[in-house]
Each structure stands twice: as structure tokens, then as C-alpha cells.
Amino acid sequence: MREAFGQTFDIPAGYHNTASIGVPPTAVADAVEAAVRRWRSGADVSTAFDEPVAAARAAFAALVGTDPSLVAIGASVSQLVGIAAAAVPDGARVLVPAGDFTSVPFPFAAHGQRGVKVTEVPLEEIPDAMRDHDVLAASVVQSSDGRRLDLDAVRRNSEGVTVLLDVTQALGWLPLGDLRWADYVVGAGYKWLMSPRGTAWMAVHPNVVDRAVPINANWYAGEQPWQTVYGLPLRLAADARRFDLSPVWFSHVGAAVSLPWLASLDLAAVRDHNIGLANLFLDRLGRPPGDSAIVSVDADADRLSAAGVRHAVRAGRVRLSFCLSNTEEDVDLLERILIR
């Protein structure tokens, strides 16, 4: 059992796959386990899940610097990005980073029959290139190798451009500050937010609420969800909840523990911890320091697997994640396997 930032983690040395699956604190897993026990014994009621949904929504809002009324819930990033993609006009010019995770560009590319054109450029060229586009859709941290989008430059050049940011590989370890200037901020919960898969959130700019189309309109998106379960007319919430998807119950139970805890932390300290371990590893490889909790290296993936190191292979290279539950012991283990 490991302890980190006020939580315990039932995780062995060598877990470096948070960018794929975030391992929850024991308190999160315990909450989900308790919910499953209630379910199996018939002791739960549907309305009991409204409270964890609200708690996780509020914590996501705090993490991205907005108000809970401007946050919608969903089940995946692509589903929420699809709302933004459906809102762009015919013939819109959409800019995306080359090689970004496809849940960001695919929903826009699917509108090619409307003349929507999606263009890829290298990540470093995004701030300058966005001036010639109608929409920018980009991950703040790249999934494949951990490179970071220059958010300050993007904000400076955002006038007249609809901006969608995917914070899935950033939120939970990288302080993002106030992102209310962006039109859409989307993030999944099962990586650095250490929640069960099936949770995602989208913060929207106030101007977006009336502009975007609630393409997944459903009973839970109603002003009073338990009063909108039958019949017409359409009666959706006035705020961002009009974009809600009916919640994946047990996933939100876990998120209601994990996200408020993360929102209470000094994320600058979390960032320094994670990047510090990543840079310690890079130093032992003889490489210069970086600015990310995700490191991409040429390494023997089979050798790492045989030694019990959990990792991923992305874009032909080994991807290693350094999470808040990692310690210098994990770096020592990588050094023994890959260097000595």
C-alpha cells in the first residue's frame, strides 16, 4: 500500500500507465464497491445518484475555473466533442494538431459532407495557424508523447476562433487555471482524474449554451430531470445541463470522491512531483529535462512487461506516465531494467 497526497493506493511499484488507466485511491474504489454491494442487494434507488453527479460536476468546474452551471456530463470525450462539432457551420475550417488523439478530430471530420474541412499542423504551429481557421480543437497535453500545447499563445490568438480544449491528459496533474475563455473544455475521468471509465465533462462558455445543439437530448438534460421522463414538449435545462447524458451511475460515485479530492490539492505541488520524477528518469537516461508527466522513449517494451512495469506503446515508442502515487522507487526500477 502506498500513501500520497493524503490518500492510499493499493498499487505495486512500476505502474506507469496512468495515461491509459488511472488507478484510483482506495477511498474511490471503496465507494464504488459499496455502491455495487447496494445494487446487488436491491438497496439503492435511482435518485441516490444525483448527489455524486452534482459533486463531481462541481469539482470538475473548480478544476477548470468555471461554474458548475456551465458544465455538462457525458460518458466519453468523443460524445461531448460531437456536440461542438455539430454546432460548427457548413464549410467551417477546423484546425487540429497533427497526430492528436482521434476523439478530438474525428467528430469534426465526420461532418465532411457539410463542407467542414479539418486541417492538421504540427503542435508547435497551432497558435499561429489558428488565425486562419474558424475552429481550433486540440488536446492540451498530447496522448502519444506528453507534449504540451502553448495555452497562453492560443488564448492570445483566440479572438474570432471557436476553441475546444481536451484536458484529458492534463487535468489532475497540470494546473490549468481559469479556462473560462475557451468555448469548450472537455475531459474524461478515467485517466489522471482516477475515476471509473464512463465519466466525462464539458465546460462551455456562456455564449455556447444557446448556440450549440443538444444532439443527445434526453430526460436527464431536463430542467427537473425527474419531471421530464415522459412525453413532449421538449423541456431542457436552461444552463449547460441541457447537454447532459444520463449518467453512468457507479462511475460518478467514484468521481464524486476522486475529483473533489484532486480539486482540494495544491496542483502545482502535484505537477512538481510528477514532472520531477519524469525528469529524474530522463536524467538517468542522459536526456534533458522536460515539462510533462508523460515521457516517450525508445525502449524494450517486452523487457518492461516481463519485469512487471505497466506502460503503453504509442506511435511506436514506449510511453511512461508519472503519477502522484509514483515514487523514486519507480524510477530506480526503470533504471535497473533499461539502463543497468
164 bridge partner residues: 137, 184
Question: Is the pLDDT assigned to residue 278 strictly greater than 90?
Answer: yes
Question: Is the pLDDT assigned to residue 76 strictly greater than 90?
Answer: yes
170-227 pLDDT per residue, tens: 999 999 999 999 999 999 999 999 999 999 999 999 999 999 999 999 999 999 999 9
183-192 pLDDT per residue, tens: 999 999 999 9
Distance, in Å, from the CA atom of 222 to the CA atom of 51, rounded to the nearest integer, reads 16
- Please give the pLDDT value at position 340: 65
Query: Which domains does the chain show, CATH number per domain?
Result: 2-26+266-338 (3.90.1150.10), 46-264 (3.40.640.10)
Question: pLDDT over 70 for what percent of the chain?
Answer: 100
Beta strands in the chain (DSSP E): 2-4, 7-9, 71-74, 93-97, 117-121, 135-139, 162-166, 184-188, 200-204, 294-297, 312-314, 317-321
8-58 pLDDT per residue, tens: 999 999 999 999 999 999 999 999 999 999 999 999 999 999 999 999 999
